[in-house]
């Protein structure tokens, strides 16, 4: 492998692969470009690094990508969509200044979808959060605050309120071996007996 070097002026010059004029490193004022196939692949300026091809992180290290922030700063990964020739903010993943994690959409009426893959590469839409604050589990189109596309739900742990005036918030639901309990108002419980089937 050999490279040709041009002297340039004030330290600016280009490095070109000897047997492939379309591959090289191009130096411009405050800019360095790596080119292959006659196209810019990586551009480094004073304020930004731009890649025009996918970035693949090979295995072998625990930390594949590290983003560091100061105590009072936030950092985010920003996704954009080209609309009418202009990039528009679409969605982001952000670590707030208080260390909280935020996943958000910035375009109107979009949803956040969590997806897994079932056997035979069939996608299963595990969960969706819509712009009108509905959560769907197993459905992309929830019609209630919580819409579960399955044949059962489960509360794993039993709980017995100490009395009809035990602490609780309206809408709380719990169970034990003998009763189902529903809190119908602040610190106000009712129960129904569970009979043998």
* pLDDT tens by residue, the chain, 197 residues: 455 555 544 445 688 777 777 888 988 889 999 999 889 999 999 999 999 999 988 887 788 888 898 888 889 999 999 999 999 999 999 999 888 999 999 887 788 888 887 666 666 868 899 989 999 998 888 999 999 999 999 999 999 999 999 999 999 999 999 999 999 999 999 999 999 98
Which uninterrupted H or E stretch holds 193? strand 188-193
Instruction: Supply the pLDDT for residue 120.
Output: 67
According to DSSP, residue 121 is labeled G
Instruction: Supply the pLDDT for residue 102.
Output: 92
Instruction: Supply the pLDDT for residue 6.
Output: 57
CA distance 147 to 151: 12
**Which pTM was predicted?**
0.67
Which uninterrupted H or E stretch holds 73? none
Structure tokens of 133? 């604050």
What are φ and ψ of residue 119, in 5° steps?
-55, 150
CA distance 97 to 105: 19
Sign of CA dihedral 73, 74, 79, 83: negative
Instruction: Supply the pLDDT for residue 11.
Output: 44
Instruction: Please report, for the chain, the start and end positions of each structural domain, with discontinuous segments joined by +.
Output: 3-51, 75-105, 112-148, 154-197
Instruction: Supply the pLDDT for residue 158.
Output: 97
CA distance 116 to 134: 20
The secondary structure of the chain in percent helix, strand, coil, rounded to multiples of 5, reads 0, 45, 50
């Amino acid at each position: 492998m050999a490279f040709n070097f041009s002297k340039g002026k004030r330290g600016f010059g280009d490095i070109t692969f000897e047997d492939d004029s379309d591959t090289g490193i191009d130096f411009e004022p405050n800019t360095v470009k790596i080119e292959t196939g006659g196209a810019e692949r990586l551009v480094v300026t004073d304020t930004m690094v731009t890649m025009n091809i996918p970035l693949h992180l090979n295995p072998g290290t625990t930390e594949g990508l590290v983003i560091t922030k100061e105590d009072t700063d936030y950092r985010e990964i920003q996704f954009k969509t080209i609309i009418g020739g202009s990039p528009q903010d679409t969605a982001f993943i952000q670590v707030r200044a208080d260390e909280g994690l935020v996943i958000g959409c910035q375009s109107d009426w979009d949803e956040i979808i969590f997806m897994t893959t079932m056997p035979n590469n069939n996608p299963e839409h595990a969960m969706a959060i819509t712009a009108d604050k509905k959560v769907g589990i197993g459905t992309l189109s929830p019609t209630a605050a919580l819409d579960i596309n399955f044949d059962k739900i489960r509360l794993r742990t039993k709980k017995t309120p100490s009395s009809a005036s035990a602490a609780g918030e309206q809408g709380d639901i719990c169970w034990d071996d003998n009763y189902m309990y529903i809190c119908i108002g602040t610190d106000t419980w009712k129960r129904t007996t569970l009979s043998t089937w």
